[in-house]
Amino acid sequence: MYTMSLYESGDSSGEASLKDLFENKVKKKLVKKVELKRLAELIVKGGWPEAVNISVNGAMKITRSYIEAVLDKDIIEIDGVNRDKQK
């Protein structure tokens, strides 16, 4: 599964791109104000397709589950060290 961009989820006009950003081609421009709460919601939803049309609390559960899976499995596979995931 791949994550979605803010453009794909309808939360961005698509006028700026990461490619343009890294090539120093992004021009400063006034855009509509984004409230901190909305910005936090976009971060929590994180571009996961199944999180687009669900509540922020539901999206938080998806994000938490993903992070726990990384901590439980993926990090151990890198170096074989068992860590206390509560730290």
- Per-residue pLDDT tens over the stretch 2-24: 778 888 888 888 888 888 889 99
Q: Count Cβ atoms below 10 Å from residue 45 Cβ, excluding itself.
A: 26
For the chain, give every domain's residue range: 18-79
The 3-state DSSP class for residue 46 equals coil
Tens digits of residue pLDDT in 22-66? 999 888 877 788 899 999 988 888 888 888 889 999 999 988 888
Distance CA 27, CA 84 (A): 45
Residue 37 neighbours by CB under 8 Å, 6+ apart: none
CA nearest to 60, candidates 44, 40, 83? 44
**Residue 1: which pLDDT band, with cuts at 50, 70 and 90?**
low
Q: Which of 35-39, 74-78, 81-85 has the highest mean pLDDT?
A: 35-39
CA-nearest of 63, 71, 19, 17 to 43 is 63
**According to the model, what pLDDT value does residue 61 have?**
92
